[in-house]
Structure 1
């Protein structure tokens, strides 16, 4: 399954097995997207907070997540409320 997201407004995508995605929470997927984002941009230093929009997960928009860098390359997500 191709998952489309944006992290700090930059577009990205992940390719993950469908059965794996089915077992993940939206926060888990936001954390994976954040990790992939920073791996795709090694010239940049990860910010303390990365805002991730999970745009397309199996045809669904999962919304915005605030993903905090708790330790080096460890990310924790929580879903943001929409106005």
Structure 2
């Protein structure tokens, strides 16, 4: 399954097995998206806060997440209120 996200205003995608995605929390997927984002931008250092929008996961918008990088490259997601 292809997951479409936007991290710090940059668009990205990555693939995971469908069975794995179905068993993950949205926060887990946001953490994987943040890790993918920084892996695909090796010339940049991860910011303390990365904002991830999981805008298309199997046609669903899973929302915005704030991810804090407290120990490189570990990310912790928290849902953000949209409004």
Task: State the TM-score, normalizing by the size of structure 1.
Answer: 0.98
- How far off is 1:43 after superposition? 0.1
Q: Report what 2:36 is aligned to.
A: 36
Q: How does 1:1-83 map to 2 (within 5 A)?
A: 1-83=1-83
Task: State the TM-score, normalizing by the size of structure 2.
Answer: 0.98
Q: Please list every run of 5 or more consecutive structure 2 residues that lacks an aligned counterpart in the other structure.
A: none
Structure 1 consecutive aligned stretches of length 4 or more whose deviation exceeds 4 Å: none
Alpha-carbon distance in 1 for matches of 2:80, 2:19: 26
Aligned positions, number? 83
- How far off is 1:71 after superposition? 0.5
Alpha-carbon distance in 2 for matches of 1:70, 1:4: 24
RMSD (Å), alpha carbons: 0.5
The secondary structure found in structure 1 opposite 2:46 is coil
- How far off is 1:70 after superposition? 1.6
